[in-house]
Structure 1
Amino acid sequence: MSPNGIISISILALQLWHCAADLCNWTGSGFGADGDSRTVLQVRLRCTEGSVRWVYPGQALRVVLEPNLSYAQRTTVCIKPSRTFRGASVYIERAGELELLMTDGGRPEQVFCFRADGPQRPAIYLQASPQSDVSRPMVGFRYELLGNRSAAPNLGHSGLQTSCRPCNDTELLMAICNSDFVVRGYIKNVSHDPERQSSLVEVSGGRVYWQRSGVFEQEEGTVGASRSVSSWHGHIHTLLQCHVKPGGGEFLFTGSEHFGEAWLGCAPRYKDFLSVYQTARAARRNSCDFPLD
C-alpha cells in the first residue's frame, strides 16, 4: 500500500469470478472459486440503491454499480457500512486505481461518499482481512447513487459534510424546489451524538409539503373532549459541528434523504422565508411555485 492509500489494480493480477445477483442487492459467501487465493468475486448491480451482504469474507469482492441509463446523471455514490461491519477494508476504484475509503474496524454506520464522474462505472472494492479462525462476521453495507442537485449536501470522503452557514436567498429558493423534503414546523428537541458526530433535531406540528419517503409521519392528537387533529412528526440529522440548538418559532426545514434518514439543508424561520419568496415572486425570480396557504 502506498502512503496515500492508493494502489494500482494492475499489480494485483487477480482473477475475476462473476457472481449472480438481483438488480439491487447481493448476498454471497467468501468461500468459493475452488479456494483460489487470487480470486476476486465480482458483482454487478443495476439500481440506484440497494445492499451488499458478504458472509465469511475471503479474498476480495468487487461491486460494480451499473444503474439504468435514465439515472446516468447520478454521479455521487454513498455507502453506509452495517453496524457489525468487520473483517474487510473498503476501497473505491477510479481510473484503474484503488483508493482506501475505510479500514477494517473503522467507525460503524458512518456514511462515506465519493464522486464517480467519468466514463467508467463506479466500483467498490472490499479486501478481506487475514483471520486466524473461521468464525468471520458478515460484511455488509447499503449504497445510494445521488444526483447533482443543488439541495444535496456537499459530499466528501468523510461522509456528509453539510454546510453549517445559513442559506442565502438564492440557495433557499432552489432548496424549496429541489429538496427531498420540505417541512414546516417547530423544533421540539435537539439531541447530540458525539460518536456519530451528528445532532438529531426532533420536528413536530406544521405541514409536510412533500417528502421522498416516509421520514415524517402523521400523528393523531386530541383537542378538548371530542375534536381530533393531525400533526406531523419526524427527525432531521445534521453535523455536530453545526451546534444546532432548540429555538422558538416556526421554521421551514428542507434537505436531502440518505439511507432512510433526513439530513438538514436550508432551515429559515417561516416568516423570513415568506418575505424572500414573495419578493422573488413579485420580481418573477422564483424557481418554482410554492403553496402559501
Structure 2
Amino acid sequence: MQKSMRLPALFLLSALLSSRGMWCMAGDFCSWKGSGLSWDSRSRAVEQVHLRCTEGSLEWMSPVRALRIILEPNLINSKYTMVCIKPHSQFQGAYLYIERRRELHLLANELDGAWKVHCFGMDSAQRVALFLQASPQKDLNRRTAGFQYELLNSQSSGPIFQKFALVEDTCRPCDNEDLLMAVCTSDFVVRGSIMCVTHDWETQISQVDIAALKVHRQRNSVFQLDDRTGTWTGPIKTLLQCKVKKGDGDFLFTGSEHFGNAWLKCAPRYKDFLEIYQKARRLKSNPCDFQI
C-alpha cells in the first residue's frame, strides 16, 4: 500500500469529489460511534461526520465502503494550531488517510503503525479532512476502526509532539519561572514519590510510576485512589532521551494529559518548590495562588 495517492485513484472516493456524489450527513459531534451494518446495502452514499470539539473520538464498527470525517472545531480563539490523531490499538477493518493538498496520505491500517500518534497543522479554515476506507473482509462483526483526536498548540509538552519541538527543549530542566507557571497551567499537579521507572526502547518512552501524597489537580483520571491503602497511584510518561531516573523523597509532578496519558513537564523536589513559591509570594510575583 502506497503512503500517498491522488484522490481520484482511491476506491469509492471519486464519488466524494464528484458533483454527482451522494452524501449521508451524520451531524456534528465531539465523538461519533456507528456501524456499517446499519447502512443500506443498495446505497452508494458515503457518510460524512463532522467532529467539532477540541477532543473526542470516532469508532466505526463493521466498516463498509468509506467514511469521510471533517475535524472542524468551533473555536473561540486561535490558540490551537494542530490536530493530533491516535488510532485505536486494535484498529481493524479499514485504512485511515488524511487529505493534504488533494492527496491522501496513509496514517494507519491493521497491519502497520496503528499505535502511533500523528500530528498535523490545521489549514486556513481550521479544519482537517480524514478518510476511512473499509478493507475487504468476510467477517464484518469482528472489525472496528477508530481513533482519538485532540487539538493542541505548538507549545504542548510530551513526546508525541517531537515533530514540532526539539528533544533538547522537551528534556530541558525547568527554571523557577517555569515551575511557578507549571502549577498554574498544568493538566495535573501531583505531590508524591517515585515507585519505579521503566523504559520502552521500542517506543522510546519512559514511564514513571508515582505514589501520590496529594493530587492537587488532574484533568482526567490518570491517578487513581486505592481504597485499600488510601494511596493515589498513576503513571507519568516522558521521552526516553530525557534519561529520567528514580530519586528519593517527595516531588511535585506537573505536566499535560493527552489521549488518557500524563506527560511530564516539571518535577521539582517538593521542598525546593516550596522555597521558590514562598519567595515569589513574598515578592507578589507568583502567577497564581497554590494551596501548600
Task: Report if TM-score (shorter chain) is over 0.5.
Answer: yes
Partners of 1:77 and 1:143 within 8 A in 2: yes
Q: Which residue of 2 aligns with 1:227?
A: none
1:234 shift after superposition: 1.6
Q: Which residue of 2 aligns with 1:253?
A: 253
Matches within 5 A, 1:76-87: 76-87=82-93
Q: Which residue of 2 aligns with 1:27?
A: 34
Specify which of 134, 138, 143 is matched with residue 134 of structure 1.
138
CA–CA separation in structure 2 for the residues paired with 1:201 and 1:97: 40
Specify which of 29, 43, 63 is matched with residue 49 of structure 2.
43
Question: Which structure has the highest helix share of the two?
Answer: 2
Q: Deviations over 1:230-274 (max 9, x none)?
A: 432221122233332211121110011122221111112222222
Partners of 1:27 and 1:54 within 8 A in 2: yes
Q: Which residue of 2 aligns with 1:265?
A: 265
Q: Return closer, same or farther for 1:83/1:252 CA change in 2, 3 Å cut-off.
A: same
1:28 is aligned with what amino acid?
A: S
1:29 shift after superposition: 1.4
2:66 is the counterpart of 1:60: yes
1:103 shift after superposition: 5.2
1:10 shift after superposition: 7.3
Q: Deviations over 1:85-105 (max 9, x none)?
A: 134333333565544434552
CA–CA separation in structure 2 for the residues paired with 1:266 and 1:188: 18
Partners of 2:190 and 2:252 within 8 A in 1: yes
Q: Return closer, same or farther for 1:161/1:179 CA change in 2, 3 Å cut-off.
A: farther
Q: Which residue of 1 aligns with 2:95?
A: 89
Q: Return closer, same or farther for 1:168/1:89 CA change in 2, 3 Å cut-off.
A: farther
CA–CA separation in structure 1 for the residues paired with 2:162 and 2:246: 30
CA–CA separation in structure 2 for the residues paired with 1:151 and 1:270: 24
Partners of 2:193 and 2:251 within 8 A in 1: yes
RMSD across aligned C-alpha pairs, in angstroms? 3.4
| Stretch moving more, 244-253 or 169-178 | 169-178
Secondary structure of residue in 2 paired with 1:176: helix
| TM-score, L = length of structure 1 | 0.78
Q: Return closer, same or farther for 1:33/1:288 CA change in 2, 3 Å cut-off.
A: farther
| Stretch moving more, 176-185 or 187-196 | 187-196
Q: Which residue of 1 aligns with 2:199?
A: 192
Q: Deviations over 1:184-203 (max 9, x none)?
A: 11001122333443222111
The number of aligned residues is: 278
CA–CA separation in structure 2 for the residues paired with 1:172 and 1:71: 26
Partners of 1:151 and 1:175 within 8 A in 2: no
2:116 is the counterpart of 1:107: no
2:139 is aligned with what amino acid?
A: S
Secondary structure of residue in 1 paired with 2:171: coil
Unpaired segments ≥5 residues, structure 2? 17-21
1:79 is aligned with what amino acid?
A: I
CA–CA separation in structure 1 for the residues paired with 2:7 and 2:281: 54
CA–CA separation in structure 2 for the residues paired with 1:60 and 1:161: 37
Q: Identity of paired residues, percent?
A: 47
Q: Which residue of 1 aligns with 2:180?
A: 173
1:182 shift after superposition: 0.4
| Stretch moving more, 68-77 or 165-174 | 68-77
Secondary structure of residue in 2 paired with 1:124: strand
CA–CA separation in structure 2 for the residues paired with 1:240 and 1:173: 25
| TM-score, L = length of structure 2 | 0.78
